[in-house]
Each structure stands twice: as structure tokens, then as C-alpha cells.
Amino acid sequence: MRTSLPDWPVFGFVDDVRPALDAARRQGRTSVLATLVAVEGGGPRPVGTQMVFSASGDATPDVVVGYFSGGCVESDVADHAYACLADGEPRRLVYGEGSPWPDIRLLCGARIEILLERVEPSDPALGVLIAAWSARQPADWVTDGRRRACGASGTVEPWPGAFVRRCEPAQRLVVFGSDPTALAIAALGAQSGFETTLVRGKGPEAAPPVPGLAYSREAPAEALAAIGTDAWTAIAIASHNLELDREALAAALPSDAGYVGLLGARRRLDERLAPLRAAGVPEAVLSRVHAPIGLNIGGKAPWAVAVSVIGEIMAERFGAGAKA
């Protein structure tokens, strides 16, 4: 193996490999994109899961992000990835039943197939992918390992033997509030890989001491207008302030956000929605709010609420949105 993977696989925390591809592209570095193209028997990761490998050739550390199994597969994939970097030849790796490497076993009993392709920083398809990611537009990555194309979803006609991966915008989270619960929701969102902004109108000039968190001191409507909302945006209103809750709901509910949640008891929901009803906001719009916010896990401490909120957003995202 060219380089041992780290003892602690924190590289597996990364689920969206586009930032790594973009960083390599900006540095003029070639990458190997590894994509899980087939799963049989219930593997640990779904089809479309990806890893990126990029070798520096200088003092800069090699880049490894993503994971497929959490076992010994990643080390073997890395071997083949660095070989692909060297010779440019794509590879299809099979682990499990039918694998040429019977000593590498998947404990789940699955069979997985992984496609490796070398992607140059000047590759036009990569440029389209990064542009779509930056613009928060869904795109299709179509490839057979040697030939690849990328375009707006549904616009690229796949050819025989090509694999199509739909690449959606990154999950975005906007949290309104300032107390420990709001901070915990924002912090867990950022740690979970969401593009997260905490909004505290007229708050302190110094940003909250939370890594990876953006901060806005604008009023709700102005903050959402500046941040932008779309189907991949979740809004968590956790202000504990009736007027601010109403103001944030008035801005959030008519927006394009895919999720709007409100912290607080269900019995107080009507008084928060009353001004919107009086203003003629349709019931179909008002019914979008998740209140009380989060999955019903029973805890009320800040981190417990944060876990329930991020859990509910992920459940909605992955199609399992029923309350626990």
C-alpha cells in the first residue's frame, strides 16, 4: 500500500466528496473518485456512496475522504486508487461473493461493486459538477470510468455501461435563537455536515464559539433573504420569544425551505400562528410547520433537543419522516 490510512477513520465523517474534489481541482491535483455502483445483500452504505483519493507528490498530505464499509475494504480500495492515479486506468472492484480477494470479507454478508476513475483538475465534467454544487443545483454525474459527463438532472443521456449518480445540493440549516438549545442545534447541525447559520437579530458582534458555524445578526426576513432557501434548506426556530417566533415563521413558512420546525409546546402553536392566519396565510402553508420540533425522544436538555431536531430533519431528508 502506498500510504497507510489513519488509525482513526475520521475521513469517513465526510459524506459529500465535492468539497474535496473542488479543493484538489483548485490545487491542480488529480483525484480518483471511487463510487459504490452496486450493492447486493444489504450493505452498510447505499449505492452512490463515494470516496475521493488525491496524492500530493510533495509535502502536502494526501487526501482521503468518505467510506464504504468501515472495515478492511477502505485500505484495499486505497491501494487500487493510488494505482489508478499512477496509470489512469479505471477499475471495478468487487468485494463479497465473486470477489477475487476472498480474504477481504464483509461482515454484513453483502456484495458490493466500486468504480474507480481518475479525474483530472481540468476535466469539463468536474467543472460542471462543481459549478452546480456552488449554485445549489442538482446535477447528474454520468460515467463508465473512462468517459464521463455532467449536467442538470435529466439532461445527460446515459450510454450503455454508464452509471448515473444524482448529486443534490448540500443540506442547509438555519437556526433562529441564542440560548443553549439553539446553540446545540446549530452546533450539531454543523458537525453533521450541514451548511449551518445561526441567526440572532441584533446579537453580539462576535460570532458564537462553534466551529463551522456561520452567523447572522439580521432580522429573520433579511437573514433568510441573504442566506437563500430551497428544498434542501431546513429552518429551526428556537428563540423562546413569541414575537420573534412569529416573525421567523412569517419569513420561513412561505419560503422554499423543505423543513420548518418550531420549538415550544403544541398548546402554544395557535397563538404563534394567529397573526399569519389573520393575514390570510393559507392553512396548507401553516401546516408545514413541525411543532413541537424534533422527534419524540423524551429529553429536553439542549443536546437531547438537538439530537431530536437533527434526527427529524434527516428522517425527512431520507424519507422516514414519521414521528417516533
Query: Which residue, 124, 150, 167, sits at the end of a domain?
Result: 167
In the predicted model, is pLDDT for residue 109 greater than 90? no
Sign of CA dihedral 313, 315, 319, 324: negative
pTM, two decimals, is: 0.91
Mean pLDDT, rounded, for 288-312: 95
In the predicted model, is pLDDT for residue 322 greater than 60? no
Full residue range of the structural domain in which residue 307 is found: 172-317
Say how far apart CA 222 and CA 172 lie, in whole Å. 17
Mean pLDDT, rounded, for 262-270: 87
Same domain, 271 and 206: yes
**What is the end-to-end Cα distance of the chain in Å, rounded?**
45
Same domain, 74 and 122: yes
CATH of residue 232: 3.40.50.720
Residue 293 lies in a domain: yes
Same domain, 191 and 75: no
Residue 130: per-residue pLDDT:
98
Residue 287 lies in a domain: yes
What does the pLDDT look like over 163-204, one tens digit per residue? Answer: 999 999 999 999 999 999 999 999 999 999 999 999 999 999
Say how far apart CA 217 and CA 141 lie, in whole Å. 38
Same domain, 284 and 234: yes
Tell me what percent of the residues of the chain surpass a pLDDT of 70. 94
Residue 1 lies in a domain: no
Same domain, 197 and 70: no
| Residue where the block lists cell 494526501 | 62
Other residues' Cβ atoms within 10 Å of the Cβ of residue 260: 25
Residue 68: per-residue pLDDT:
92
Contact present, 173 and 194 (Cβ < 8 Å): yes
Residue 258 lies in a domain: yes
Closest to 258 (Cα-Cα) out of 159, 135, 173: 173
Residue 278 lies in a domain: yes
Residue 108: per-residue pLDDT:
66
Instruction: List, as one string, the DSSP characters of 193-249.
Output: T-EEEEE-TT--SSPPS-TTEEEE-S-HHHHHHHH---TTEEEEE----HHHHHHHH
| Beta pairing partners, 309 | none
Which of 55-64, 131-140, 245-254, 261-270 comes out lowest in average pLDDT? 55-64
In the predicted model, is pLDDT for residue 311 greater than 50? yes
In the predicted model, is pLDDT for residue 323 greater than 80? no
Mean pLDDT, rounded, for 231-250: 94
What is the average pLDDT score of the chain? 92
Same domain, 163 and 198: no
Total domain count, the chain: 2
The rounded Cα 18 to chain-centroid distance in angstroms is 10
What does the pLDDT look like over 1-14, one tens digit per residue? Answer: 455 788 899 999 99
